[in-house]
Amino acid sequence: MVEAPGVQVPDPYTILVTFGWEPIENHPEDGYWCYEVTDSNQITLRLSWNILERSLRTLLSRNGQTIAVVYHEGSFILTPTKFKDKWGLMAVFTGAGKETTVEIQVDPIIQVKWSTLER
């Protein structure tokens, strides 16, 4: 795990071993990593985070056209998680009486689910 105050994310080696992804862009000195993956439907997920800014962003696109962008800031933990029998990622943001989660699945197709609940 790579950690900064209020943030924990998997280290690049864990991402590589678990998903086979290498960062398309990274600036570890600035706390920034960005990964990109495309599924069989030509949906592309660009997932990036900055541990110093405590931010996580998902961008979904198809054939270069943006479908959805969600950007969230705050304390969070991002962990590899099994959904049924496939690996994905889950982030949980906490604070201000709310809990925001994002579930990211990429196999066999990309699915990204954001939700926020008041505690």
Show the tokens assigned to 45. Answer: 């997920």
Write out pLDDT tens, residues 41-73: 999 999 999 999 999 999 999 999 999 999 999
Q: Tell me how many domains the chain contains.
A: 1
Alpha helices in the chain (DSSP H): 12-19
The reported pLDDT for the residue numbered 95 is 81
- Whole-prediction pTM: 0.93
The pLDDT mean for the chain works out to: 95
- Domain containing 51 equals 2-118
Q: Can you name the residues that pair with 95 across neighbouring β-strands?
A: 98
Residue 3 banded pLDDT, cuts 50, 70, 90: confident
Q: pLDDT (tens digit, 9 = 90+) per residue, 85-100?
A: 999 999 999 887 889 9
> For the chain, what percent of residues have pLDDT higher than 70?
100
